[in-house]
Amino acid sequence: MDCLPVTVPVTILGGYLGAGKTTLLNRLLADVQGVRLTVLVNDFGEVNIDASLIANRDGETISLANGCVCCSIGDNLGLTLYDLAERPDGPEHILIEASGVADPARIAGYAGCHPRLCLDGIVVLADAETVQARAGDRYVGDVVRQQLAAADLIVLSRTDLLDASATRSVRDWIEAEMPGARVQEASAMSRLAQLLLAGGGGTMDMPSSSSSSSSSGKHDSLFAAWRLASALPLDGAALRRALAALPPAVLRAKGIVSLAEAPGRRFVLQLVGRRWSLEPEVRSDGSALAGPSEVVAIGLAGQLDMDQLEALFAPTLPAGLPRAVAVLLRQEDRA
Amino acid sequence: MAGPITVFSARKIITMDAAIEEATHVAVRDGIVIELGDLDDCAAWGPYTLDDRFGSGVLMPGLIESHAHLLDGLLWAKAEYVGPVDRHDPSGKLRSGINTVPGLVQRLKELEAGLKDPSQPLVGWGVDPSLNDPIAPITRHDLDQVSSTRPIFLLHASCHIAYVNSATLTLANYAAVKAPGVTRDSSGEPTGELLELAAMMAAIKATAADMIGGSTDAAQFYNFAKVAQARGATTIVDGGGSTYFDPAFLKAALVATGAPDFPARIVAHHNGITVPTAEEMIRFAASLEGKGNDKLIFQGIKILLDGSNQGFTGRLRPPGYLASGANGLWNRGPEELKTLVPALHNAGLQVVAHCNADQAAELFIEAVATAQAKNPRFDHRHFIVHGQLLDESLMRRMAALGIHVTLFSNHLYYWGEFHRAHTFGAFRAGAMNPASTALRLGLVAAAHSDTPVSPVDPLLTLWCAANRVTAAGRVLGPRERVSAHDALRMMTFNAAYLLHRDHEIGSIRVGKRADFAVLAEDPLAIDPMGLRDIEVQGTIVGGRVFGAGA
Ligand SMILES: [Zn+2]
């Protein structure tokens, strides 16, 4: 039997009431790309999953044929999460729908309530039509701003109801209000799972087409992935510098890498918008594994500048190897 | 067949009824007051037994704690009280506050020595380093002096913080717990302080798992009633959040409160806190109709609008919290509240709204105004719980809409200085919990402890409303002080009115229940600063005598 990594990544999905969280969740559950996901929702009554996907419904829990589970947070999020993390047959990824008035940063604290859990990222939905007006509201203006400020990735919903210039102006407003924000339009996010989920238990789950510098598949023409592979360990300091300097067009990156500084074990890379982590791989039997390194960065086609990424990551490749050799080695990996 | 008559005598009976304000004897039959006056007046009803054990005491209507939480009873049952504030325990004994870290360590050592099983965790509650003198943090190093092997878990009075020793950190694998609320020292080691439930979860699971998740322990009900009874209460509110709609929990509650020796009445609000939607709240409330007993009554549905002021999570109008200008947290979204409140109002329920700060109160008032405009109801008695920053304008709107209030007067004493220095500043700290203005405007105002947040002690609460003195001795907003008589009325008749029980309790009057508190001194004759120290000699509930600490 395969030895599963023991860490379960947790994503927080925030955003004000009516921002489209449920719609996004339903889309995600319908196409979860093989990840065994559990979604904890606030308002169970609002969940509206296509009946053809449902395998079983039991009180406040819906089990889907694809292995995913959707259940109510109940009256104690900490307890619900803790018990979920204790289950041997538990999920590979957990997504928590924060209430419409919650501060997602606070909810994110719960992602560390059990030794097995770790925070993957905070994704906040904003209704493109109303977010600006709400941010000025007497009762909830501060709440809406707090939510946007907490986001690693801001997803704009309902842009289909606006013309291009109106959408542009909302984006400009968010970028001015929240410097450094990563903003994406929901309608452009096909294959949500690849953007929102870490992949099975934090292991690599690469886009089906992994050739670098090309968009990954026909119905994903909006979607692009860039890939780095190396048979030799990477330079950890250079990798951290590259991650910190990633352009906003990179919405998600995942990877498993070996680092020259720590031979004999691997590290798991997770990046959601502005947040990234590079942690030692934890395996349930406590073993460490050495191996080749792989990193995938995902973003929108047309926005992802492949040359820029090549240049950014070039210093991470083993020192002393001429760049041409490094490129050659990587091409061999790919073959 | 009518039962036997008992006549209770007292040095003085304070009736809190306008018709006849004083008496010396009260005749009781079948739990009901049948006469009030002197012994001759009572004798007119025929043969009686004279009970003069309280003959030198002062009898008054049983005190009513209008907002408290059953959790208090569970904490007494499952954990040792080791806080800095004096607190009466369920036996009526005063537990003196421990307000130094060495004192705390000493007390924990004594408790530790009494535990036989070396793996049994030592669980304490009520600690609050901000009330220690000197103010000093509690760390695992302090607690390791108590034991390096037995897990120790101490819950903060706010229930939002915990302190643990190294044994607990190891047992619960805190090396791998990544919650940001795990306070760490400069070397990255946990200090033993755990902030908020997310960080506390693993420690609770390892040491006190039976304290979360709907305990059906009978002791929680007894302790809850006993602590209040020892300080003169005959009725105490379980203020929302309990799951009486759960058959197992309801059964435990009915069995406990149904026993003849159960020492107080519990009025329980329906749960609008952990139940997510209006439809379910209404359904659960309806399912409990007619399900109570003589000492367990369901009334009102409790909803939460905001957080707590001392936790900086109450929703304030501008200018927000002192210095930072920050604002707190909504418990439910304003849009949701604007439909939830009318839905509950239309269902005929009494809405009991937790509004700690003024923006939450303003929103609730607007929601009730919307509900009343569409579907006017008379005598709904919706009321605000806490209402700490209500001002005259808000309260005039409340009066117009029929909204009343139970104020959190205990805050003036326990956190008055804290609010002045850290949350509200001088003016708003002086304006907190404005009981005098509320009464002047015709609101039916009561006051409460919100135990376990502050100790349940109705005499202390009415002392707070009458004196408005902080722990440091400063008087906050002297004009908002109320007379001893008004303070007594807040904790009796007014509280009964809020609970739709004023026809039965809240004053001593022929036809009402024989629920009395017996005090050693006359609260209307002494300096109001002495109100909190009055000795309680016992209570009488439905004619049955419960001695102090019964
Ligand atoms: Zn409360």
Q: Region B94-112: what's the mean pLDDT? A: 95
Residues of A in contact with B315 (CB under 8 A): 139
Interface pTM, i.e. ipTM: 0.79
B182-202: pLDDT as tens digits: 999 999 999 999 998 889 999
Mutation to test the B interface, candidates A44, A72, A75, A137, most B Cβ within 10 Å: A75
Which pLDDT value is given to residue A334? 42
Whether residue B467 sits in one domain with residue B341: yes
Contacts of B244 (CB under 8 A, 6+ apart): B250, B253, B268, B270, B271, B288, B291, B298
**Is A251 in the B-facing interface, judged by CB distances under 8 Å?**
no
Supply φ then ψ for residue A330, to 5 degrees: -65, -35
The strand order across the sheet containing B445-447 reads B63-68, B233-238, B265-271, B296-304, B351-355, B383-386, B404-407, B445-447
Q: Residue A78: which of B173, B176, B198 has the nearest Cβ? A: B198
A70 inside 8 A of chain B by CB: no
- Residue A291's nearest CA partner among A253, A261, A263, A319 is A263
Instruction: Please give the Cα distance from B70 to B226 (Å, whole number).
Output: 12
A1-10, A196-205, A315-324, B319-328: segment of lowest average pLDDT: A196-205
Which chain B residues contact residue A43 at CB under 8 A?
276-277
Q: In this complex, do A113 and B359 lie within 8 Å of one another by their Cβ atoms?
A: no
Residue B160 has what DSSP assignment?
A: S
pLDDT in tens, B495-520: 999 999 999 999 999 999 999 999 99
Mean model confidence pLDDT for chain A:
82
Domain C-terminal end among B176, B207, B238: B207
List residues bridging with A37 in a β-sheet.
A93
Q: Tell me, yes or no, whether B392 lies in a domain.
A: yes
- In the structure encoding, which two tokens stand for residue B475, read together? 């008087």
- Among candidates B459, B434, B435, B349, which has minimal Cα distance to B64? B459
Q: What is the mean pLDDT of residues A149-174?
A: 92
Mean pLDDT, residues B289-311 taken together? 94
Kindly list the residues from chain A whose CB atom is less than 8 angstroms away from the CB atom of residue B202.
Answer: 82, 113-115
Which residues form the domain of B310?
305-482
- Taking only the tens place, the pLDDT of each residue in A271-316 is 888 889 898 887 777 777 778 899 988 887 778 888 999 999 999 9
Q: Is residue B49 part of a domain?
A: no
Average pLDDT over residues B52-62: 97
Which residues of B fall within a CB distance of 8 Å from A78?
A: 197-198, 200-201
A6 touches chain B (CB under 8 A): no
State the Cα torsion A116-A121-A127-A128 to the nearest 10°.
Answer: -170
Within an 8 Å CB–CB cutoff, is residue A284 touching chain B? no
List, as ranges, residues 180-219 from A with C-beta within 8 Å of B: none
Are B201 and A78 inside 8 Å of each other by CB? yes
- Which of B441, B458, B482 is the endpoint of a domain? B482
Q: What is the pLDDT of residue B131?
A: 81
Tens-digit pLDDT profile for residues A214-249: 333 443 456 688 899 888 899 999 999 999 998 888
What would the two tokens of residue B244 be?
A: 């009486």
Chain A residues touching residue B331 (CB < 8 angstroms):
101
B176 Cβ under 8 Å from any chain A Cβ: yes
Establish if B328 belongs to a structural domain. yes
Q: Do A111 and B179 touch (CB under 8 A)?
A: yes
Question: B261: buried, middle or exposed (CB in 10 Å: 19+, 13-18, 0-12)?
Answer: exposed
Report the residue from A42, A103, A140 with minimal CB separation from B334.
Answer: A140
Q: Which of A17, A18, A79 sits opposite B213 (nearest CB)?
A: A79
pLDDT tens sequence across B441-453: 999 999 999 999 9
Q: Is residue B286 part of a domain?
A: no
Residue ranges with strand state E in B408-506:
445-447
B220, pLDDT greater than 60: yes
User: What is the pLDDT at residue A217?
Assistant: 40
The answer to whether A306 contacts chain B (CB < 8 Å) is: no
- pLDDT reported for residue B438: 98
Q: Does A98 touch chain B (CB under 8 A)?
A: no
Please indicate, yes or no, if residue B158 is contained in any of the structural domains: yes
A220/A213 Cα distance (integer angstroms)? 14
Does B231 have pLDDT greater than 90? yes
B322 and B200 co-located in one domain: no
- Give the rounded distance of the alpha carbon of A220 from its chain centre: 17
How far does Cα B490 stand from its chain's mean position?
Answer: 14
- Asked whether residue B201 falls in the same domain as residue B312, the answer is no
* B539 within some domain: no
Confidence of residue A328 (pLDDT cuts 50, 70, 90): low
The percentage of residues in chain B with a pLDDT greater than 90, rounded to a whole number, is 88
DSSP code for B350 = P
Q: CATH number, domain at B123?
A: 3.10.310.70
pLDDT digits (tens, 9 = 90+) for B489-501: 999 999 999 999 9
* Residue A291: predicted pLDDT: 83
Helix (H, G, I), strand (E, B) or coil at A276: strand
> Which has the higher per-residue pLDDT, B290 or A208?
B290
Read off the pLDDT of each residue in B370-377 and give the average, rounded to a whole number.
97
- Collect all residues of chain B within an 8 Å Cβ-Cβ radius of residue A117: 178
CA of B386 to the centre of ligand 1 (A): 8
For residue B420, what pLDDT is reported? 96
Residues 6+ apart with CB under 8 A from B283: none
Q: Are residues B198 and B318 both part of a single domain?
A: no
Q: Sorting pLDDT into bands at 50, 70 and 90, what band is A323? A: low
CB pairs under 8 A between A and B: 94
Q: If residue A120 lies in a helix (H) or strand (E), which one and from where to where?
A: strand A117-127
- Our CA-based measurement puts residue A113 at a distance from the nearest CA of chain B, in whole angstroms, of 5
pLDDT for the residue A211: 36
- How far apart, in whole angstroms, are the C-alpha atoms of residue A224 and residue A300? 5
- Average pLDDT (B324-338) is 91
Residue A331: pLDDT band (50, 70, 90) is low
Output the pLDDT for position A202.
37
The neighbouring-strand residues paired with B6 are B28, B49
Q: Over 90: is that where the pLDDT of B3 sits?
A: yes
CA of B67 to the centre of ligand 1 (A): 6
Cα B11-B16-B20 angle, rounded to 5 deg: 75
Question: Which one-letter amino acid corresponds to residue A148?
Answer: L
Q: Which of B459, B482, B505 is the last residue of a domain?
A: B482
Kindly write down the DSSP assignment for every residue of B207-231, as one continuous string: H-GGGSS----HHHHHHHHHHHHTT
Q: Which of A102-106, A202-206, B258-262 has the lowest mean pLDDT?
A: A202-206
Residue B461 lies in a domain: yes
Mean pLDDT for all residues in chain B: 95
Residues 27-46 (A) with a CB less than 8 A from some CB of B = 42-45
Q: Touching check for B363 and chain A: CB below 8 Å?
A: yes
Give distance in angstroms: CA of B268 to centre of ligand 1: 12
Confidence tier at A329 by pLDDT (50, 70, 90):
low
Q: pLDDT exceeding 70 applies to what percent of chain A?
A: 85
Q: Is the residue at B190 inside a domain?
A: yes
Contacts with A, B 420-459, CB within 8 Å: none
A231, two tokens: 């048979």
CATH number at residue B351: 3.20.20.140
Q: Does B211 touch chain A (CB under 8 A)?
A: no
- Give me the phi and psi of A113, to 5 degrees please: -80, -15
Mean pLDDT (whole number) for B48-63: 97
Give yes or no: residues B200 and B315 share one domain.
no
Which of A17, A45, A79 has its CB closest to that of B277?
A: A45
Peptide bond into B528 cis (omega under 30): no
Adjacent-strand bridge partners of B85: none
- B520 burial (CB, 10 Å; 0-12 / 13-18 / 19+) is middle
Percent of chain B with pLDDT over 70: 99
Q: What is the DSSP letter of B493?
A: I
Domain count, chain B: 2
CA distance A15 to chain B (A): 12
Tokens describing residue A172: 């400009």
Residue with tokens 């149904």, as numbered in its chain? B258
Q: Select, from the ranges A255-269, B29-43, B126-140, the one with the highest average predicted confidence (pLDDT).
A: B29-43
Q: What tokens does B129 get? A: 């380093």
Q: Tell me what pLDDT residue A160 has.
A: 86
Nearest C-alpha in A relative to B243: A75
Taking the C-alpha atoms of residue B409 and residue B482, their distance in angstroms, rounded to an integer, is: 11
**Cβ–Cβ contact A145 with B under 8 A:** no
Which helix (H) or strand (E) is A39 found in, with range? strand A37-41
Question: For B358, which residue in chain A has the nearest alpha carbon?
Answer: A139
| pLDDT attached to residue A326 | 55
pLDDT (tens digit per residue) in A4-42: 457 899 999 999 988 888 888 888 888 888 889 999 998
Q: Which domains does chain A have, with CATH numbers?
A: 8-218 (3.40.50.300), 222-331 (3.30.1220.10)
Does residue B335 sit at the A interface (CB-CB below 8 Å)?
yes
Distance from CA of B162 to the nearest CA of A (A): 14
A78 touching chain B per CB within 8 A: yes
Contacts with B200 from chain A: Cβ below 8 Å: 78
Report the alpha-carbon distance of residue B286 to residue B347 in Å, rounded. 10
| Residue of A44, A106, A115 with shortest CB distance to B177 | A115
Cα(B408) to centroid(ligand 1), Å: 10
- List for chain B the helix, strand, coil content (%; round to 5): 35, 25, 45
CA distance A104 to chain B (A): 12
Provide, as residue numbers in chain B, all residues whose Cβ is less than 8 Å from the Cβ of A40. none
Helix (H, G, I), strand (E, B) or coil at B14: strand
